[in-house]
Amino acid sequence: MATVHRESNQVKWVGVRPGHNGEQVIEGDTAVNVLKTIYTVPADKILLLNNYVATIYCAAGGNGSVMIYNAVPALYRTLVLMPATANDNGFVSVSFPMPIELSEGFSIRALTTAANIDLWVTINGILIDA
C-alpha cells in the first residue's frame, strides 16, 4: 500500500503552497476578429494553469476559441471552441483537477472568426521557476 505524505502545516497555507515560491497569474483580455495573445510564459518559468473563463457575445454569428500555442509558435491544444449564432451569448468556466503545465514561450491565445464577435478570456495560474 502506498504511503501518503502530508505536511504538518497544510492547514496554515495561505495563497501559494510553501515550497513553490511562485506568483499568482491572473490575466484577461478580449479578442475581436484577431488572434490575440492573452498570456505568454516568461523565460525560465513554468505556468501551472488552474482555470480559465471565456465569455462570448456575437452580433451576427461565428466562432470564438481559446487555444494554447507552444514556443515555435504552433497550435499545441484547443481548450474550447465556442460557436455562436446572431445575438447569442456564451460562457465557459473550466477548472482543472491537476493544473496544465506550460513551459517558457507557451502562450494562451483567443481567436474570433468575425469582427462582430467579442470574446473575453481570463486565466488563473501559478508561475514558478523552471
Query: Which amino acid type is present at position 80?
Result: V
Q: What is the pLDDT along the chain (130 residues), one digit of tens a residue?
A: 344 444 555 555 555 554 556 778 888 777 666 788 899 999 999 999 999 999 888 887 788 899 999 999 899 999 999 887 778 888 899 999 889 999 999 999 998 888 778 888 999 999 988 8
* Rounded Cα gap, residues 54 and 28, in angstroms: 9
pLDDT at residue number 104: 95
pLDDT at residue number 93: 92
pLDDT at residue number 88: 80
The single-letter DSSP state of residue 9 is T
Please, what are the domains in the chain? 22-129 (2.60.120.220)
Q: Which of 44, 40, 18, 23 is nearest to 129 (CA)?
A: 44
Beta bridge partners of 56: 90, 119
pTM: 0.78
pLDDT at residue number 40: 94
pLDDT at residue number 71: 92
End-to-end CA distance of the chain: 32
Question: How would DSSP label each residue in 47-92?
Answer: EEEEEEEEEEEESSEEEEEEEEE-SSS-EEEEEEEEEEETTEEEEE
pLDDT at residue number 10: 56
